[in-house]
Structure 1
Amino acid sequence: MSNITEKLGIKVETNPSEEKLTQLGVKQWSKWGCPPSKFPWTYDAKETCYLLEGKVKVTPSGANESVEIGAGDLVVFPKGMSCTWDVSVAVNKHYIFE
């Protein structure tokens, strides 16, 4: 069962169905990966991504709490968000900008 939550402006859907992933065309999206690391990031456009592997704590600038995302999550980051990515398990994801 998928479960959609929104926290600090970040929308996370856990275990989306294969049907939904096919509908979105996730497998055709570009791929990106990184080793465990910590870095700042700003979204110039809305990004939707699907994590194939990894574990990340995303902390939006100015927020004193973070959003944890991991393998099997479909995540939407809003345009204009600045945040810090704290990657504890190497990430491999499909992503698309709107």
Structure 2
Amino acid sequence: MATEKFGIIIEKNPPESTLIQLGVRNMAQGKVKVYPDGSDEAVEIEAGDLVVFPKGLSCTWDVSVTVDKHYYHSE
């Protein structure tokens, strides 16, 4: 199930079929709070989350556990 906040979509433990489609071999590791510019509220991202950021989003990352991430860029 996916949730959305500030246009950021987070899917906890996405299905293997989605990971294969996106070409993701390993899920991200770590823990981070993402603060969109102009907001005091954060979106929390943890290992195993599949995250979609809206195009053009400016944000600050507060990394509490080292992050290993994989990117998929679509047009």
**Corresponding residue to 2:23 among 3, 22, 25:** 25
**Corresponding residue to 2:53 among 77, 80, 83:** 77
CA contact (8 A) 1:4 1:13 kept: yes
Please report the TM-score for the alignment, with normalisation by the length of structure 1. 0.70
Structure 1, unaligned stretches of length 5 or more? 28-49
Match of 2:41 in 1: 65
Are 2:59 and 1:89 equivalent residues in the alignment? Answer: no
Q: 1-side partners of 2:28 and 2:17: how far apart?
A: 16
Q: 2-side partners of 1:51 and 1:8: how far apart?
A: 23
Give the C-alpha shift of residue 23 in structure 1.
2.0
Runs of 4+ in 1 over 6 A off after TM superposition: none
Give the C-alpha shift of residue 24 in structure 1.
2.0
Say which structure is richer in strand.
1
Match of 2:13 in 1: 15
Counterpart code for 1:75: V
The number of residue pairs the alignment matches comes to 74
Q: Kindly tell me: are residues 84 and 51 of structure 1, through their superposed partners in 2, closer, same or farther at Cα, counting changes over 3 Å?
A: farther
Structure 2, unaligned stretches of length 5 or more? none
